[in-house]
Structure 1
Amino acid sequence: MKTMNKSNEHVLAMGACFNERADSHLVCVQNDDGNYQTQAISIHHQPRRVTGACFFVFSGSLKAGHLAKTSIVEDGVMVQITGETMDALRQALRDMKDFSVACGLVDQEDGQEHVHIQWIDDDLNFNKGVISPIDGKSMESITSVKVFHGSEFKANGKVIRWTEVFFLQSDDQTQPNCLSDPADHSRLTENVARAFCVALCPHLKLLKEDGMAKLSLRVTLDSDQVGYLAGSNGQPLLPQYLSDLDSTLIPVIHSGHVNSARAPSSWSWFSTSWR
């Protein structure tokens, strides 16, 4: 909806995710002379049946005489359609309904191509093989966000950095499924991650010597339960680290719980790596 509302009314463009069901994928390769050309990489000795693309563009500037046209542009697909078809496509997307576009000349009956837009179930095939360093809990199919510009905290020649946050559904399913302000949620996760890193800074050298190079924090904000777990290598952190964590983390977590009282029950897992 944001894409449609902000885009030019004659153009609709979106990026595409990697398709694991495809046996080949479009790529754009730069030649020695500086020009770009499209290639399809595929599985060795296997025929290409399904080819994935990196983006798609619908352009509503097609003139009369054609129903629609398809073409490959770099590592994506462009579909040229009429203005009327663009209006119908946008309405179908708003209504979350499937939509099909027939390509070819208006009076062409044979050999037409078809472009199908289909709504499917949520793709839960991600974070395969990822486990929590706290207790080995599987993170497969759990939504996560990479933190590419997280603050770094240095002490004793070591650096600790927040790298990723996972959002886990609480066991309590009785609370209403409504989200708090995303800005407040983002601010809370950042504040908790910062407090976690600051509390562990004095212990970084010892953690390194103990082989704890990947640390994790799990926070719960249930209506009747507020707390955290921290660990590494599948084991909780030792009591010698928890004293500083308690004094630094608990005030931040309780403050966030008060400000997000209307949010659904959820667990957040902050993963930090350091060198």
Structure 2
Amino acid sequence: MFSSSPPGNVLTHLGHSFFTQSFLGSREHGGFLYVTPSFQSLQDLMLPNPPYLFGVLLQKWETPWAKMFPIRLMLRLGAEYRFYPCPLFSVRFRKPLFGETGHTIMTLLVDLRNYQYTLSMVKGLVVDMEVKKTCIKIPSNRYNELMKAMNKSNEHVLAMGACFNEQADSHLVCIQNDDGNYQTQAISIHHQPRKVTGACFFVFSGSLKAASGYLAKTSIVEDGVMVQITAETMDVLRQALRDMKDFSITCGWADQEDSQEHVHIQWIDDDHNFFNKGVISPIDGKSMEFITSVKIFHGSEFKANGKVIRWTEVFFLQSDDQDQPNGLSDPADHSRLTENVARAFCVALGPHLKLLKEDGMAKLGLRVTLESDQVGYLAGSNGQPLLSHYLSDLDSTLIPVIHRGACQLSEGPVVMELVFYILEILS
């Protein structure tokens, strides 16, 4: 039988979950911060298939940072335990790394009291700091995100959070001392010289007076970069961002070229780091990296014999001669087609859920191809196609749905892969 999916929370990199009661023997344990591994060693660890996250135990005093500015907390954990960028293990009953908020620039940029607003983030945006040069790098495919963030900002101040910079060999870290004051340190990759240092945020302030003698002023503030510019430069900077043009700012005294520094805003190649890193198809082991996918939170599912099969994700595969998947004239047609295909797949395999699960085929893939000269599907699990006695039921249920979808094609092929999981029904 079909049923609606139970509500739940989606966990992502630098996401969190908090406790409302005592956990692991202490009321001071506040929750978990979830991180994707990057430079940490995973040797000898038993790991699931990608994607997966590590949960690091937090103290209650740290939960505001996990909620409002998690990259600061991640790197602070790394500095404390000397793992870059952070440890992948938890320490119970440890001393909190942050206490009362006190005097930090973040009180001006995020709402650490009522959680009503936070720093805007643009995926893939990073800050590179080198000697006398700072580069803010923005992926070209994140233009719309940047515009939304900029349009929400104060006209005199442009501030944004940056992502963890995987191309840097070190990163700024903000440390809160026992007296509550904040200071800047850096954490780096072990046994690697520091050439490029990442930062967690940047602030452009249009408060500099032209009569000050400075062209602009740049400084490190906690784990970020502050650039003070004139109101006129701020207007030109914002226009350059709207026009998607690179922009450079010279900082320092106008008459002292030798001591001047430069801040560059650069548009870089499209960012693909957030697309299914390490993910492979359950059908044939094909890499799904860089392939756009959509998570399904209330998709089709079917219950039978104490098991439930649930549709969780759809990948839109690209064809050999096209840059973008297309084919259906209306996005709503895509939605209807994928939903109909998913439902048919669940119905067809409903009687076989117990046997599939017992045979270790809990994750299933269905790849549907709709082209002018080819209409069909592939189904599999663990890199192998499903056995013939499953396919006979799939043929009778799926093929009519797929052929109806082919009739909706306007131009070009549609190739998509749906992912399903067989789970136990909890009583």
Residue 144 (structure 2) pairs with residue 4 (structure 1):
no
Residues 147 and 162 in structure 1, CA contact (< 8 A), matched pair in contact too: no
Please list the CA deviations of residues 94-113 of structure 1 after superposition, one character each: whole Å capped at 9, or x if unmatched.
44332212223455533222
CA offset at residue 14 of structure 1? 4.9
Match of 1:99 in 2: 247
CA offset at residue 115 of structure 1? 1.5
Q: Which amino acid aligns with 1:8?
A: S
Residues 328 and 409 in structure 2, CA contact (< 8 A), matched pair in contact too: no
Q: Which amino acid aligns with 2:153?
A: N
Match of 2:316 in 1: 167
With structure 2 as the length reference, what TM-score do the two structures score? Answer: 0.52
Aligned residue for 1:228, secondary structure, equals strand
Match of 1:158 in 2: 307
CA offset at residue 236 of structure 1? 1.2
Aligned residue for 2:251, secondary structure, equals strand
Q: Partners in 2 of 1:15 and 1:273 — Cα distance?
A: 35
With structure 1 as the length reference, what TM-score do the two structures score? Answer: 0.75
Residues 175 and 265 in structure 1, CA contact (< 8 A), matched pair in contact too: no
- Larger RCO, structures 1/2 (Cα 8 Å, 6+ apart): 1
CA offset at residue 207 of structure 1? 0.8
Residue 168 (structure 2) pairs with residue 22 (structure 1):
yes
CA offset at residue 28 of structure 1? 5.6
CA offset at residue 201 of structure 1? 3.4
Residues 132 and 216 in structure 1, CA contact (< 8 A), matched pair in contact too: yes
Residue 235 (structure 2) pairs with residue 87 (structure 1):
yes
Please list the CA deviations of residues 219-268 of structure 1 after superposition, one character each: whole Å capped at 9, or x if unmatched.
22323333221111111112322344345444544454444524x43422
Q: Which amino acid aligns with 2:297?
A: H
List alignment gaps of at least 5 residues for structure 1.
none
CA offset at residue 212 of structure 1? 0.8
Residues 4 and 12 in structure 1, CA contact (< 8 A), matched pair in contact too: no
Q: Which amino acid aligns with 1:196?
A: F
Residues 208 and 228 in structure 2, CA contact (< 8 A), matched pair in contact too: yes
List alignment gaps of at least 5 residues for structure 2.
1-142
CA offset at residue 13 of structure 1? 4.8
Residues 103 and 114 in structure 1, CA contact (< 8 A), matched pair in contact too: yes
Please list the CA deviations of residues 69-111 of structure 1 after superposition, one character each: whole Å capped at 9, or x if unmatched.
4445665444443333233233333443322122234555332
Note the aligned Cα RMSD (angstroms): 3.9
Residues 223 and 265 in structure 1, CA contact (< 8 A), matched pair in contact too: yes
Q: Partners in 2 of 1:221 and 1:51 — Cα distance?
A: 47
Residues 26 and 38 in structure 1, CA contact (< 8 A), matched pair in contact too: yes
Tell me whether 246-255 or 174-183 shows the greater mean CA deviation.
174-183
Residues 223 and 261 in structure 1, CA contact (< 8 A), matched pair in contact too: no
